[in-house]
């Protein structure tokens, strides 16, 4: 006898009907975080620049993006820019995720770069390297290793934040859950399926990032 008001047997029956939506979720997360890495690195280097105007622009970007919700940024890109340019839902979601995560990744990179002993930069410069070459060959490889744990956390946050893309009709997990719930009147069951998909994906990402961290630690000892 089922003492719960929900039909949980629906979960295994409908689970794989969400596979396409999960792929969309992974797609916008992957490209969003890739764009965020590029923006974040540029913003971090700009933040550390000795040129005041470049540093000020980077600070302003980080301040504005971290101080406003992702949903607002998503609506500005998708709805607010229609008088200038029309951007489809999926590119809008990727751009919004990239810009939003870029601000947080910039601070991760900045902290990692600043954690490297400045003596290494001075030693590289004394050997005839330019500051750019020293940054590229000496500082950044070490900084990237130190940035891996917080970047892993940010990737998981980005995956969960991608659910906001449902508000602009991107056919990802949350939108699929709402559609399936409204057609079957089984909202709890459908959203439980969505939650299980997210749990599986975040667990796999955590495992992969943990393995990467372990490999980097081993290479440090070689």
pLDDT at site 56: 96
pLDDT at site 215: 85
Confidence of residue 129 (pLDDT cuts 50, 70, 90): confident
> Does 101 fall in a domain?
yes
> Does 177 fall in a domain?
yes
For the chain, give the percent of residues with pLDDT over 70. 96
**pLDDT tens per residue, range 72-125:** 999 999 999 988 898 999 999 999 999 999 999 999 999 998 888 877 777 777
Give me the chain's average pLDDT, please.
90
State yes or no: pLDDT of 2 exceeds 60: no
Residue predicted with more confidence, 142 or 160: 160
End-to-end Cα, the chain, rounded Å: 60
Residue predicted with more confidence, 42 or 129: 42
Q: For every residue of the chain, which 3-state class applies, written as one string?
A: CCCCCCCCCHHHHHHHHHHHHHHHHHHHHHHHHHHHHHHHHHHHHHHCCCCHHHHHHHHHHHHHHHCCCHHHHHHHHHHHCCCCCCCCHHHHHHHHHHHHHHHHHHHHHHHHHHHCCHHHHHHHHHCCCCHHHHHHHHHHHHHHHHHHHHHHHHHHHHHHHHHHHHHHCCCCHHHHHHHHHHHHCCHHHHHHHHHHHHHHHHHHHHHHHHHHHHHHHHHHHC
Whole-Å CA distances, 61 to 98, 114, 155: 13, 20, 20
> Does 122 fall in a domain?
yes
pLDDT at site 90: 96
Q: Pick from 57-71, 126-140, 144-158 the range whose average pLDDT is largest.
A: 57-71
> Does 5 fall in a domain?
no
CATH number at residue 50: 1.10.3720.10
> Does 86 fall in a domain?
yes
Residues 91 and 73 sit within 8 Å (Cβ to Cβ): no
pLDDT at site 9: 85
Confidence of residue 138 (pLDDT cuts 50, 70, 90): confident
> Does 140 fall in a domain?
yes
> Does 147 fall in a domain?
yes
Range of the domain at 97: 10-221
Q: Tell me how many domains the chain contains.
A: 1
> Does 4 fall in a domain?
no
pLDDT at site 79: 94
């Amino acid at each position: 006898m089922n003492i719960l008001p929900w039909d949980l047997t629906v979960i295994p029956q409908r689970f794989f009907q969400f596979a396409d939506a999960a792929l969309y979720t992974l797609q916008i997360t992957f490209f969003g975080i890739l764009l965020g890495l590029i923006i974040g690195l540029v913003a971090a280097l700009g933040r550390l620049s000795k040129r005041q105007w470049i540093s000020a622009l980077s600070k302003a970007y980080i301040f504005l993006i971290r101080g406003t919700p992702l949903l607002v940024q998503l609506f500005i890109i998708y709805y607010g820019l229609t008088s200038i340019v029309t951007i489809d839902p999926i590119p809008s979601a990727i751009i919004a995720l990239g810009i939003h995560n870029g601000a947080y990744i910039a601070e991760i990179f900045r902290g990692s770069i600043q954690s490297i002993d400045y003596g290494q930069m001075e030693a590289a410069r004394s050997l005839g390297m330019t500051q750019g070459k020293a940054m590229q060959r000496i500082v950044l490889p070490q900084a990237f290793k130190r940035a891996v744990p917080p970047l892993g956390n940010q990737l998981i946050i980005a995956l969960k934040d991608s659910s906001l893309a449902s508000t602009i009709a991107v056919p990802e997990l949350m939108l699929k859950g709402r559609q399936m719930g409204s057609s079957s009147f089984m909202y709890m069951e459908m959203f439980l399926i969505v939650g299980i998909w997210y749990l599986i994906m975040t667990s796999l990402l955590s495992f992969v990032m943990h393995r990467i961290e372990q490999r980097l630690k081993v290479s440090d000892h070689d």
